[in-house]
Chain A
Amino acid sequence: MTKVTLTVNGRSMSGEAEGRTLLVSFLREELGLTGTHVGCDTSQCGACVVHVDGKAVKSCTVLAQDVNGASVTTIEGMANEDGSLGVVQQAFQDHHGLQCGFCTPGMVMSSAALLAENPKPTEAEIRHYLEGNICRCTGYHNIVKAVLAASGQDVSALGVAAE
C-alpha cells in the first residue's frame, strides 16, 4: 500500500492505494466520494469522468498512484458554495437531462469540461464532445439541451424531444 494524496474539490485528501487501485475506486472506497459512478469499467461509458488537473478523464482507466499529488474535481465539487446546484447541474434538472441519473455525474463533468474549453458550443459540438458518455435513458436530446442552456444559449431552436 502506498499513501496517495489528492486535492479533491479544493481539499487535500489522503488514502492508501495498491498498485492496481483505480482512481474511481480510490475516490469511492477510500475517500467515500460515491458520486462518481462505474458504469462499464471498460473505458466505454463515461459515467466515471472526473477532472484531473482540469482535464476530463475516465477515472476507471487511471491508476490512483499515477495521479498522486494531482488536483481532482468530482461531481461533489460541482455545486455552488452554498450547496445549491451549480449551473450545469441546474440546467440538467431544468431540462430533464436525466432519468435514472446513473450517467449524470459523468455527463455533468464532461459537459463542464466542454464549456471550459468552448463556452458557446453548437449543438453539433456538444454531441461530438459527449461521444464518450453513454446514456441508456434519455436519448440524449435533453442532455444536449441542458448543455446549451448551461452555456447561456437559446434552446428553443432545438424544439421538443422527438421521441
Chain B
Amino acid sequence: MYNFDFVKPATLDEAVAALGGEDAQPLSGGQTLLPSMKQRLNAPGVLISLTGIAALKGVKLEGRTLVIGAATPHAVVATEAASVYPALAALAGGIGDPAVRNRGTIGGSLANNDPSACYPAAALGSGATIVTNTREIAADDFFTGMFETALEQGEIITAVKFPVPEKAAYLKFQQPASRFALTGAYVAKYQDGVRVAITGASEGGVFRWTEAEEALNRSFTAEALNGLSLPAEGMMGDLHGTPAYRAHLCAVMTRRAVTAAG
C-alpha cells in the first residue's frame, strides 16, 4: 500500500472540508478500501476517517422509517434493527464474518456498490433514501452501474432511510469462499406495492425485477412467479457461475425470499 496522510475529524463539517482537498477519499470501515489499496487498485493521497464522527452512527426509528447512520457497522444494524426491520437486520448479520461486521459500515457498502454486495439490494428493495451532506437521493437513482453511484466527488453519505415494509426477506445464495452473494434477492411488500431487488447477477449491478414485482402485486406467493425468468444476456459470468446459472438463480432466490417473507 502506498503511503498517505491520515485525518480523523470529529464532525461532518470538518470531514466535508477535508474532502475538498486534492486526492482525498473517505474511509469508513476500511473492509473494502484497505484491501483495494493494498492491491494498489486505489491510492488516495489523504484518507479522511469517518469513524470518529458520532453523528454518523446509530439506528433510530422515526415514525415508520428506520434511519441508519452511514458509519454504523453491520453488527450494530444486525442487533439494533432486529425488532423493527428483521429482514434488514438479518441481511446485515449475514455479511462476511463477525470481524468484518464489526468494522464494515452501511455507508461504505452503498458507496462502493459492489455488484455482489448485500446492502444495495436492501436499499433498492426497500425504496430507501440515501442522505448525503448535500441532498437526498432515492435508491432508484443512486445505483448507476457496477461500482458506480450518483455520488459526486467529495460527497459523503450521512444516513440511509428505510421505510419499514409489511414483510420482507433477503435470500442470498452464498459464494462459500467470500460469503458475498453469488446471487441474492431482496423482496419487500409495502402497502403500495412489492419491490424486488436482485444483487450478484447483472453486469450493471443491483437492479429491480419489475416483472416479478407485477406478479407479486397480483398475488404475494412463490407460485405467482412460476414461469417468470430473466435472460442470461447481461448477467455476470465467472468461475463461480455462468450467466445462465445466475439468471436461473435470480428466479430461485426470489421465490425463496417470497416464501421466507411469509
A19 touches B4 (CB 8 A): yes
B96 touches A61 (CB 8 A): no
Contact A56 to B35, CB < 8 A, known contacts A19-B47, A62-B30, A66-B49: no
A66 touches B4 (CB 8 A): no
A61 touches B103 (CB 8 A): yes
Within 8 A of B (CB), among A24-77: 41-44, 46, 49, 52, 55-58, 61-63, 65-66, 68
A132 touches B97 (CB 8 A): yes
State whether the Cβ of A16 lies closer than 8 Å to any Cβ in chain B: no
Contact among B5, B31, B38, B97 for A131, CB-based, below 8 A: B97
Q: Min CB distance, A135 to chain B, in Å? A: 14
A18 and B3 CA atoms in complex are apart in Å by 7
What chain A residues lie within 8 Å of B31 (beta carbons)?
43, 61
Q: Min CB distance, A43 to chain B, in Å? A: 5
State whether the Cβ of A2 lies closer than 8 Å to any Cβ in chain B: yes
Interface size for A (C-beta < 8 A) is 29
Within 8 A of B (CB), among A131-158: 131-133
What chain A residues lie within 8 Å of B3 (beta carbons)?
18-20
Contact A56 to B6, CB < 8 A, known contacts A61-B34, A62-B30, A131-B179: no
A86 and B141 CA atoms in complex are apart in Å by 53
Inter-chain contact count A-B, CB under 8 Å?
74
Q: Is the interface of A mostly helix, strand, loop or mixed?
A: mixed
Q: Min CB distance, B38 to chain A, in Å? A: 7
Q: Min CB distance, A141 to chain B, in Å? A: 18
Q: Min CB distance, A29 to chain B, in Å? A: 15
A42 touches B38 (CB 8 A): yes
A46 touches B27 (CB 8 A): no
B30 touches A66 (CB 8 A): yes
A55 touches B38 (CB 8 A): no
State whether the Cβ of A110 lies closer than 8 Å to any Cβ in chain B: yes
B102 touches A63 (CB 8 A): no
A41 and B34 CA atoms in complex are apart in Å by 10
A44 and B175 CA atoms in complex are apart in Å by 13
B49 touches A129 (CB 8 A): no
State whether the Cβ of B98 lies closer than 8 Å to any Cβ in chain A: yes
Contact A63 to B35, CB < 8 A, known contacts A43-B100, A56-B102: no
The 10 closest A-B pairs by CB, nearest first: A132-B97, A19-B6, A55-B102, A19-B4, A131-B97, A65-B6, A20-B1, A58-B99, A56-B99, A20-B3
- A and B contact pairs by CB, cutoff 8 A, 24 listed: A2-B6, A18-B3, A19-B4, A20-B1, A20-B4, A20-B37, A41-B38, A42-B38, A43-B31, A43-B34, A49-B99, A55-B102, A61-B35, A61-B103, A62-B34, A63-B34, A65-B8, A66-B6, A66-B49, A66-B51, A110-B98, A110-B99, A131-B98, A132-B100
Instruction: Mark A residues whose CB is within 8 Å of B.
Output: 2, 18-20, 22, 41-44, 46, 49, 52, 55-58, 61-63, 65-66, 68, 110, 113-114, 129, 131-133
